[in-house]
Amino acid sequence: MIKISGLNIVNIKIKDLKPYNKNAKKHPKKQIEYIANSIESFGMNDPIGIWGKDNLIVEGHGRVEACKKLGYDEVPCIRLDHLTDEERKAYTLAHNKVAESEWDFDLLNDELGDILSFDMEDFGFEFIDTEKNKKDTQNKVEGILNLNKATFSGVGKYDIPQLAPIYENEIGDITEWIGFNYVLSDKAPEGKAVHFFIDDYQFNRLWNSPEKYMEKLKQYEVVLTPDFSPYADMPLATQIFNHYRKHWVGALMQEYGIKVVPTIRASRDERSLDFYLDGEPKGGVVCISSMWTADEEAREYFLREYETMRKTLKPEKIYVYGNEVEGLKGNIEYIQPFTRKRFDG
């Protein structure tokens, strides 16, 4: 017969808990972030083990730090006062040690592939290559340009996929613009639009696994093309490749029936002016960012980029993400930057 100790779960203020100063289990900052993401997504479902009148933490140091990060004042705790001091020390080590085990990576990959509403990378997961997946890995290497997923007719010197225009009367009322990194966790996408102007590193997820996001993105009123940044200090080939990737993803989204507004972007490298409009549609709605106009030189470069775009594409409407810039012509609607919205309330 299994002996079950009496469970005594209570809520205790975090400030009244005492971390064990000899806790041998390390909790790196990244792990705390993963734990916090889990608690925020699924709730605090694992009480903290505490012992003695000082509420000494026996197990759960990482969860306590995560709850602090989330702004919790108190946490559920389970009292382990039935343990002796030696048993408490042994249990602290055993609890951490026995949880260690290997994954069945084949099953893990299958499970990760079935989960679409959560970005499991937020909890520390990534797809793992195993013997079973060697063929898939080879296909990924061969398809580094995503040619094994879709190909599109190209225009210009570099065969940039051509996007179809979207017109103002095709776009309904937009209640909110959100960054791409919030898409998978967003529970109410109706009436919202998706932009790609924050957390650039997140965009590679869309490039690496586009099929994972298409059905979710279809739920939004409109989606911008991803702003794979063509920085001036990048090799020219990388700038061209990022422009190509932006258009490849945009063309794929249009194939899925997503309403796509192209993001216009040149780098401060003069050579990018030769191709930054390749594949962009004429006459529809476009978007451009003015966030990079802090100094006079940058502002003058932006105005030249903007005017060339306006005269070449003749868009009927232009979304401008960022700072208001004096002298812009056209039918303009400004999108409030995320950072300003966040801090201005």
pLDDT at position 149 = 87
Contact partners, residue 316, CB within 8 Å, separation at least 6: 167, 168, 283, 284, 285, 331
DSSP string, 137-165: HHHHHHTTTSTTT----EETTTTEEPPPP
Residue 215: pLDDT over 60: yes
Residue 108: pLDDT over 70: yes
Banded model confidence at residue 293, pLDDT cuts 50, 70, 90: confident
Residue 31 C-alpha from the chain's centroid = 17
Contact partners, residue 324, CB within 8 Å, separation at least 6: 290, 334
> Crossing angle of helices 61-69/29-42, nearest 10°?
70
Place of tokens 């001091």: 85
Q: With H, G, I as helix, E, B as strand and everything else as coil, classify residue 40.
A: helix
Q: Please compute the mean of the pLDDT values over residues 139-168 and round it to a whole number.
A: 87
- Of the CA atoms within 13 Å of residue 311, those in its CB half-sphere come to 6
Q: Please compute the mean of the pLDDT values over residues 132-142 and round it to a whole number.
A: 61
Between the alpha carbon of residue 125 and those of residues 120, 128, 135, the distances in Å are 6, 9, 21
> Between residues 256 and 128, which one has the greater pLDDT?
256
List phi, psi (to 5°) of 83.
-85, 145
Residue 73 exposed, middle or buried by CB count within 10 Å (0-12, 13-18, 19+): exposed
pLDDT > 90: percent of the chain? 64
What's the CA gap between 65 and 57, in Å, rounded?
12
**Taking all residues of the chain, what is their mean pLDDT, rounded to a whole number?**
88
Q: With H, G, I as helix, E, B as strand and everything else as coil, classify residue 125.
A: coil
Banded model confidence at residue 343, pLDDT cuts 50, 70, 90: very low
Amino acid 2 reads I
The length of the chain, given as a count of residues: 345
Q: Please compute the mean of the pLDDT values over residues 21-40 and round it to a whole number.
A: 92
pLDDT > 70: percent of the chain? 91
Domain boundaries of the chain, sorted by first residue? 9-98, 105-140, 145-344
pTM, entire model? 0.60
**Are the C-beta atoms of 192 and 177 separated by less than 8 Å?**
yes
pLDDT digits (tens, 9 = 90+) for 73-105: 999 999 999 999 999 999 999 988 887 778 787
> Between residues 100 and 160, which one has the greater pLDDT?
160
Q: Please compute the mean of the pLDDT values over residues 154-162 and round it to a whole number.
A: 96
What's the CA gap between 299 and 294, in Å, rounded?
7
What's the CA gap between 133 and 110, in Å, rounded?
11
Fold of 9-98: 3.90.1530
Residue 130: pLDDT over 70: no
pLDDT at position 127 = 62
**Are the C-beta atoms of 248 and 129 separated by less than 8 Å?**
no
Q: Please compute the mean of the pLDDT values over residues 175-182 and round it to a whole number.
A: 92
Residue 3: pLDDT over 80: no
